[in-house]
Amino acid sequence: MTGLISKLEEWAVKESKVRAVLRRSLAFDPGTYPSAYPYVEWFLRNEEDTWRREMSYLVAGLWAAHWREGRAGEAMSLGKACAVLRNGPSGSESIERRFINLLDSDPDQLPHRLRQMLAVVKEYNLDFEALLKGLLFWKGDQKRTQNLWAREFYRNIATGTETEPQANEEETT
Question: What pTM did the predictor assign?
Answer: 0.85
Q: Model confidence over 22-58: pLDDT tens digits? A: 999 999 999 999 999 999 999 998 888 999 999 999 9
Domain presence at residue 171:
no
Domain presence at residue 166:
no
* Torsion sign (Cα): 54, 154, 96, 90: negative
Burial class from Cβ neighbours inside 10 Å (0-12, 13-18, 19+) for residue 2 reads exposed
Number of structural domains in the chain: 1
Domain presence at residue 168:
no
Q: Model confidence over 83-127: pLDDT tens digits? A: 999 998 777 788 999 999 999 999 999 999 999 999 999 989 999
What CATH number does the domain containing 70 carry?
1.10.520.40
Confidence check: pLDDT of 153 > 90:
yes
Give the range of the structural domain holding residue 140, as residue numbers without chain letter. 4-156
Q: Model confidence over 127-145: pLDDT tens digits? A: 999 999 999 999 999 999 9
Length of the chain: 173
Domain presence at residue 172:
no
Phi, psi of 73, deg, nearest 5:
90, 165
On whether the CB atoms of residues 31 and 53 are closer than 8 A, the answer is yes
Domain presence at residue 138:
yes
pLDDT at 171: 42
Q: Model confidence over 56-65: pLDDT tens digits? A: 999 999 999 9
Angle 135-29-149 from CA coordinates, rounded to 5° = 20
